[in-house]
Amino acid sequence: MSTTQLSHLVLKVNKNQDTLNFYRDLFELLGYTQTIYDSNFWNFGDKSISVGLYFEEEFYAADENTVGLGHLAWDVGSQDVIDNAALLIQKYNLATETLGSIKAHHGIDFFTCCFYCPSGNRLELVYLPK
C-alpha cells in the first residue's frame, strides 16, 4: 500500500536578483540542490518535499489578514545553521521576528530564527537540541 505525502511547496516571490540570490544562498545553507528538470525547484534528498519559486513581476507579500500559507519552517540539524542564517539575514538586510533561544508555550526549549525573505514571505528555521 502506498502512502500519500506532500510533494512540493511553491512560494510566490518577486523576480529580482536579490530574491534569487537570497533563496539560492538559503537553500544551499539548508542542503538543497536545484533540480535538473526545473531550475526553479530545489530538492533536499530523495524523500523530502521540494520547494519551488514562482516569480511574479508585481507580487506583493500577504499580510496577516490574507488567507494562505502563514509561514514555511525547516527543522535544522544544528545551532550552526541558525548562526549562519543570522549572517545571511544581515547580508540581505532582512527583517527578523525572532532570533535566539526561546521556551515555547509547550515548554520545550529550542532555537529559532523567524524572518522575512526579500519578497515578504515569513520563513523560520528551528533547532531542537537533543
Alpha-helical regions (H) of 17-56: 17-29
Average pLDDT over residues 90-95: 93
Give the whole-angstrom CA distance, residue 25 versus residue 107: 32
Q: Does the pLDDT of residue 69 top 70, yes or no?
A: yes
Q: What mean pLDDT is predicted for residues 14-42?
A: 82
Q: What is the pLDDT of residue 50?
A: 82
DSSP state of 84: H
Q: Which of 26-30, 66-70, 85-89 has the lowest mean pLDDT?
A: 66-70
The class (CATH top level) of 8-57+71-127 is alpha beta
Domain range list for the chain: 8-57+71-127
Reference 23, options 91, 83, 77; nearest CA is 91
- Assess contact for 10 and 72: CB atoms under 8 A: no
CB 129 within 8 A of CB 110: yes
